[in-house]
Amino acid sequence: MDASVDAPSALHEHLFTHPTSFTDMRAWHRACAELRQAGPVHHFSDARYGDFWAVTHHGTLLEVSRQPEIFPNTQDAAFIGGGKASYTEMQEDLPFEVKTLLSMDGDEHTRYRKVVVDWFKPSAIRRLQIAVNALVSESIGELRARGGELDFATDIALPLPLRVIMEMLGVPRPDEPLMLKLTQEMFSAADPELGSGNAFEALGEMVTYFVDLVASRRAEPTEDLTSAIANATIGGEPIDMVAMMGLFAVLASAGHDTTSFAMSGGVHELISRPDEFQRLRHDPSLAQNGAHEVVRITSPVRHFTRLATRDVEVAGHEFHGGDRVLLSYPSANRDESVFSDPDRLDLGRPNASHQVGWGHGPHYCLGARLAQMEITALLEGLAREVTSIEPAGDAEWTAGHFVSGVKHLPVRCQLT
């Protein structure tokens, strides 16, 4: 039996691969709902990225994610495009080598993940709670100073998680705008406002920055995460410099962009559902579960890809060795068979923690606990200090098919 179907209509042709598809999320979710009704796995043939199978059901996505030996996150699974069939071909044209946790598998992935994992364990996150609460208070203070009216995405959702991860890394505050610029150029290269059109130029600039910072931390070690990475060893040997730069690229970019998009998207949902915001105000204890619900309904990481190593059947579909498989997190997080009334924000949703917005399996997001804590703190701060939120203009979404979300959110708030 084959439970897959071809994409039902032209509406879906570039659903997962065209950056502008993610600038109208209502239309995107309608299209994905149609796909889910048709089956869990769908074939696409894209002029830029080639053939792939999109997984749209929650259970099927989990099943693929739980089998990393069959569906590894290998470098050549990634969408390269631009006439390049694989990461290997792309690498030949770059002036520097790229190697990150996102494209490692097996023992290699485990070894490099261990270098930083202690910084994201529950005990470490608890130590950051006071600092995060202070940053939330600082953000609310900015809101008060602006008379309750600002762009929530750029003025609060962006700087808050950026500051947290940069302070962990020991990046000086004056350099935060540079890190934000480079991150946006990497993740939002196709966005006419945020991107430069060449993500690898931004990555190269970020690498140059951290090469210098590593040299400084090796000469004079400090107590920050950069120093821990710079002076770490694997098997008694210093970390490979290429892989080390890959660690910094992931931490400095994914460490805040995904969280900021969850925050801005979550507040956009609260604006659309003022009764839910009032529910939060009257019961701030909803914030912790609500953080999971915010990630579920926003799903800032739009996909990851896997490459089948051999023939295998999953959910009635026969994958073949060499098949590229796209895991659609926003679609899985609105799977009607798992989440009732999936398009509705419900801060008290009983199974909100079943969301897969931070991935699943060995590549589960390192910073998920930190992100959850930051979103929780923000929801608590809003419940405590704000009595109502309404739009002060139109929301705008980033053009990007990998990591994206609400990039502008003009709001008008009444404060306590």
- Please tell me the number of Cα atoms within 13 Å of 209 on its side-chain side: 22
Q: Is 276 exposed, middle or buried (0-12, 13-18, 19+ CB in 10 A)?
A: buried
User: Looking up tokens 């009704």, which residue turns up?
Assistant: 37
Q: How confident is the model over 266-288, as a mean pLDDT? A: 98
The pLDDT, as a whole number, for residue 89 is 61
167-200 as b/e: b if 16+ CB within 10 A:
bbbbbeeeebeebbebbbbbbbbbbeebbbeebb
Per-residue pLDDT for 6 more than 70? no
Per-residue pLDDT for 83 more than 60? no
Which of the four pLDDT bands, split at 50, 70 and 90, describes residue 347? very high
The pLDDT, as a whole number, for residue 9 is 47
Q: How confident is the model over 190-202, as a mean pLDDT? A: 84
136 versus 5: which is more confidently predicted? 136
12 versus 279: which is more confidently predicted? 279
The pLDDT, as a whole number, for residue 8 is 44
The pLDDT, as a whole number, for residue 43 is 94
Secondary element (H or E) of residue 138 = helix 122-145
The pLDDT, as a whole number, for residue 91 is 60
The pLDDT, as a whole number, for residue 248 is 93
Q: d(Cα 362, Cα 129) in Å, to the nearest integer?
A: 26
Domain that holds residue 33: 4-415
What CATH number does residue 35 fall under?
1.10.630.10
Going by the DSSP 8-state scheme, the letter that residue 63 receives in this structure is H
10 versus 311: which is more confidently predicted? 311
The pLDDT, as a whole number, for residue 262 is 98
Q: d(Cα 17, Cα 187) in Å, to the nearest integer?
A: 14
> Looking at 234-243, 378-387, 403-412, which range is the least confident one?
234-243
> Looking at 12-26, 93-107, 112-126, 206-220, which range is the least confident one?
93-107
Per-residue pLDDT for 193 more than 70? yes
The pLDDT, as a whole number, for residue 53 is 96
Which of the four pLDDT bands, split at 50, 70 and 90, describes residue 218? very high
Q: What is the number of domains present in the chain?
A: 1
The pLDDT, as a whole number, for residue 345 is 98
The pLDDT, as a whole number, for residue 1 is 36
Q: What is the pLDDT of residues 137-146, one digit of tens each?
A: 999 999 999 9
What is the value of pTM for the model shown?
0.94
The pLDDT, as a whole number, for residue 21 is 94
Which of the four pLDDT bands, split at 50, 70 and 90, describes residue 106? very high
Per-residue pLDDT for 103 more than 90? no
CB neighbours (10 Å) of residue 146? 12
Per-residue pLDDT for 95 more than 70? no
Short-list 383, 319, 393, 309, CA closest to 347: 383
Give 252-273 as a DSSP string: HHTTTHHHHHHHHHHHHHHHH-
